[in-house]
Structure 1
């Protein structure tokens, strides 16, 4: 299991953060689409690093059409020397239609077609052959020489899909090169729901299939740091738990009624109160809890035989400073 670092796309110079991650021995660096554009951050990271994998976890697929995504990903693949991993997610309907003003329908089927369209576009750009992709959601049939770049000598980037429900998970198994486990998952859900769905979609084997996870981390070197970290993670878990699309994770554990409590609170913006409803039992199921060395060892024990890559996700600045300790402890546990 490779150990990666997830970074915020915020800050004046992403190059410094990327260079520190590479010097720190991380295998990869992941950016997400929250407050800023993940592709711009990776472009800066590519100019400051030489070795580490650079990935999006996630970029919102349906905020763009396949052509725009294919072009920016191809440019990043060239800029990074072939180190890009394109991680895509669907987001939920409200964000796609109201924040991005883009169409929403049949997300699993649309995502399947999206990936196929990406591959058709990359293939045409690399081969010079006529682009003729005609699907139910996307049609790309025009790519003239003026808009086709010179070959950069690297293959198309691998595409990883994020998912929680079985429909999107099945699509990932069918057409993607790997799967991005949502932070709102548990070890039990991963083993009992996600892995069987992926394995079935891939004909019984996950050989060569990338499995990337970014479990919540509740950690710190003092009681105050642990408390602050736990508070932040409880609120984030509560936010996700209020989303109807993620109810299946709660139902597996018998916590479905929790969503009924959280939904009205989320509509009222009662974020602090929502976090207070996340019990220690729920926190322990979703997050790895403990001091840095304990958290690193637990990360490997829980997921070392399942994930090919683990991305250390932190929600507080204090916790972020401890990721190196967590990574070292995870590596030691893996070789013990």
Structure 2
């Protein structure tokens, strides 16, 4: 049975036709937020010490074709926002005891001023922090992963959750890679810059082990990584439409991103709509290069909100 959130139809502007995401950005293969992120491997070593802090080292490996230009040349791999989410979530799931029915309710990311290139040695430090609302049902952690700073909030669901069978597969270690999404751009308002889309998330078909760890009671479901990569691609389309930013002519850099998830994960398969609007845009020149900046605010029919600030840096 398909889980549909939000039934209102979106009528396209005159002259706009529904467009598949791949028509706007190119094939998913060869794009990091397309399918490239699924091929990245991460290993994590470390332990919780005293005081209550996890200190470890991540080892991240990107395949050669993680992100490829049209001419076949490969981009230099660097630490990504996905690494800065999955490594802490894996450490938290392994290190601190977890109440049943807990899910990711918010993440806040801030990238460093330069890409982190030493992927063989990525320092990871995590410690508990005061939750934004002390309801007794939430936990927060701060994390530094390389030079990316993160805050992660976890909330215990009030819904009845199904008990899980013990297995060997962690959602944020492996299973999140298996969810597919087909996105259709349904409406673009050139005056306001508002871009609307429909997203069809589908569950994996192959037989898998029962999940363990964070959000295992909800699996198969839409994860925070699904929102991160999907809305990241939507913003790429918006930058191309608004600013003419071409991924072939520069490097896209996600400076900050905040994702708020007010409800437990939506079960798969799921049909979700989104609306993304630019809230701030500007162009600067630095060291002879043009840098296009955009801040966007996205909302989905699942109640998820994504606020992102991205920069497109022209290649010299």
TM-score, normalised relative to structure 1: 0.24
| Greater strand proportion | 2
| Greater helix proportion | 1
